[in-house]
Copies of this chain bind each other. A is one copy, B any other.
């Protein structure tokens, strides 16, 4: 009792040995311990090679063992197979092989946990479709390990960018009674259906009803219908109009029944909101954010994520490093929606969806603009027709467009969507009425215009799209650990 708990020390990981600029040569001569999972084992007549990975980096540690190593009998007996977890002590030595600078000469090996022969991730290449059914094991592969590390780097860089620029992170609510986009497609959150084990066998009749046969919401947890948020923006506005600059970074949801490689039912969004700011400030912020990002990606190549990015460049999307460099270095193109439409109409390309003023831009149009019309440079399209944009966007003086902007990037299309918000009470109320949205449900949002309203602007960025953009993975389901899509809620 009363004893010191002991100091927390990071245990040595493979990245600590091999991650340095000379790939571990400065560690030669050290006796170290490596703990991880066996990727492959090759037994030759006098020597056995084990590739061990601990997920701290893409690289395995090649462990070289002769029969005099302690614990060699476990190797000999065939217990140490792909997927098994082991603990190895050995000396860092220069490698004879060409694939790495250093390897580990094993003194002692301990089998920590064996791997059942049914282990589904053997050396042979497995499809990403198959791996989605093994989402609990896929981070043990090169691709998904690298995606996880780059995703992490992008998240941290996001926080760093906003924190260093004076933004305050706020958590917008996940469960909400309001509908930010006014578009429906929300998941209902309820306790009227009993939880977990009983739900599957639950009769419809057990749901409380009023004497008119309607769902009796007064008996629900929140005593009224509640939903999963589709955006934290409206809530972020309340904090921006108090603290000046804020951002959210949290999960958002769409109950959209679209089974595409671009949509998730649950995804993470980054939503900065700037007070005393207009659309130009908004664009400048989005540009700075993305360029900083890309710069960081490029710098990472000479730093932490080098291996992972080289891996993507080689195996997932050739040229991705160049593409990111372009984003980091070039001035972004900016043009109005009206000019963009003109450009698309004049384009020699055949589009599936017809283009005319007033139409929403489809992915094919967005990609044409950034990939072909402007040769891989990100494009910011602004001032969209008000009919195709949300109620809260600020009306331009022309009466038919709003101060909205979308940032389009190669391969992804729309990565960022933002706008200046309507700060004028009468315009905002007018727009709600036009769209038959109930003013009363937006009372607190309207209050922001009653009490010290200010010009303000912000944008939303789908984090998984950014992960796709930075890694080249084609299907958005591979950009998040546990994707949720129609019919799919496993794990």
Interface residues of A in 223-271 (CB under 8 A from B): 223-228, 235, 238-239, 241-244, 250-251, 253, 255, 257, 265-266, 268
| A: contact size bracket | 35 or more
Contacts known (A451-B116, A452-B85); A484 close to B173, Cβ less than 8 A = yes
Chain B residues within 8 Å of A148, by CB: 168, 170, 239, 242-243
Is A190 within 8 A of B187, CB to CB? yes
- Whether, in the assembled complex, A344 has its beta carbon less than 8 Å from a beta carbon of chain B, the answer is no
Partner of A174, one of B38, B169, B251: B251
The answer to whether A225 touches B486 (Cβ under 8 A) is no
* Chain B residue at smallest Cβ distance from A159: B159
Q: How many copies does the complex hold?
A: 2
A487:B196 contact, CB within 8 angstroms? no
B191 with A280: CB separation less than 8 A:
no
**C-alpha spacing A480/B170, complex, angstroms:** 9
Known A-B contacts A11-B276, A136-B238, A168-B148; A284 and B156 likewise in contact (beta carbons under 8 Å): no
Within 8 A of B (CB), among A439-478: 444-445, 447-455
CB distance from A91 to the nearest CB of B (A): 20
What is the bound-complex CA distance between A54 and B207, given in angstroms?
48
Q: Please measure, in the bound complex, the distance between the C-alpha atom of A7 and the C-alpha atom of B228, giving whole angstroms.
A: 36
In whole Å, how far is A464's beta carbon from the nearest beta carbon of chain B? 9
Bound-state Cα–Cα, A241 to B444, Å:
46
Would B489 and A175 count as touching, CB distance under 8 A? Answer: yes
Docked CA distance A114–B489 (Å): 49
Q: Looking at the assembled complex, report how far the CB atom of A187 sits from the nearest CB atom of chain B, in whole angstroms.
A: 5
Is the pair B223, A487 in contact by a Cβ cutoff of 8 Å?
Answer: yes
Given the known interface contacts A195-B227, A481-B239, the answer about A284 and B7 at a Cβ–Cβ threshold of 8 Å is yes
**Segment with Cβ contacts to B, from A293-301, A331-339, A345-353:** A331-339
Residues of chain B with a CB closer than 8 A to A491's CB: 173, 176, 178, 235, 238, 444
- Provide the residues of chain B in CB contact with A228, threshold 8 Å: 174-175, 189
A488 in contact with B222 (CB, 8 Å)? yes
Contact B174–A266 (Cβ < 8 Å): yes
Contact between chains at A202 and B177 (CB < 8 Å): no
* A334 lies within 8 A of B1 (CB): yes
A403 interface contact, C-beta 8 A: no
> A171 contacts the other chain (Cβ, under 8 Å)?
yes
CA distance A172 to B332 in the complex (A): 34
Cβ of A5 within 8 Å of any chain B Cβ, yes or no, is yes
Chain B neighbourhood of A114, CB < 8 A: 452
Query: Contact: A191 with B255, CB < 8 Å?
Result: yes
User: Does A71 sit within 8 A of B, measured CB to CB?
Assistant: no
Contact B35 A276 (CB under 8 A): yes
Please determine whether A481 and B140 come into contact, CB atoms closer than 8 angstroms.
no
A155 at the interface (CB under 8 A from B): yes
Contact yes or no, B145 A242, CB < 8 A: yes
Determine which of B188, B221, B241 lies in contact with A195 in the assembled complex, contact meaning CB atoms within 8 Å.
Answer: B188
Asked whether A417 is an interface residue with its Cβ less than 8 Å from the other chain, the reply is no
Q: Kindly provide the distance from the CB of A212 to the nearest chain B CB, expressed in whole angstroms.
A: 8
User: Looking at the complex, which one of B112, B186, B224, B239 makes contact with A454 (CB distance below 8 Å)?
Assistant: B112
CB distance from A334 to the nearest CB of B (A): 5
* Chain B residues whose C-beta falls within 8 Å of the C-beta of A174 in the assembled complex: 174, 228, 251, 253, 266
Is A358 part of the binding interface, using a Cβ–Cβ cutoff of 8 Å? no
- Verify if A84 is at the interface (C-beta below 8 Å from B): yes
Q: Let me know if A97 is at the binding interface, CB within 8 A.
A: no
A376, CB-defined interface residue at 8 Å: no
Contact A334 B3 (CB under 8 A): yes
Bitwise interface map of A from 366 to 386 toward B, beta carbon under 8 Å scored 1, else 0: 000000000000001000000
Which residues in chain A, 172-205, are within 8 Å of chain B measured between CB atoms? 172-179, 184-193, 195-197, 199-205
CA distance A178 to B489 in the complex (A): 9
Among B149, B284, B334, B484, point to the contact of A2 (Cβ < 8 A). Answer: B334
Name the B residues within 8 Å of A314 (CB-CB): none
A31 contacts the other chain (Cβ, under 8 Å)?
Answer: no
> Is there contact, CB below 8 Å, between A453 and B113?
yes
Q: Is A128 an interface residue (CB 8 A)?
A: no
Q: Which residues of A (367-409) have their CB < 8 Å from a CB of B?
A: 380
Per-residue B-contact encoding for A145-177, CB less than 8 Å = 1, 0 else: 100110110011001000101101111111111
Interface residues of A in 3-51 (CB under 8 A from B): 3-11, 13, 15-16, 35-38
Ordered by A's residue number, 26 sampled pairs between the chains whose C-beta atoms are within 8 Å are A6-B284, A8-B281, A37-B241, A54-B275, A56-B243, A85-B452, A87-B276, A112-B276, A116-B451, A136-B238, A136-B448, A148-B243, A156-B163, A174-B174, A174-B228, A175-B187, A176-B491, A177-B489, A187-B195, A199-B217, A200-B224, A203-B212, A205-B213, A221-B257, A221-B486, A444-B490
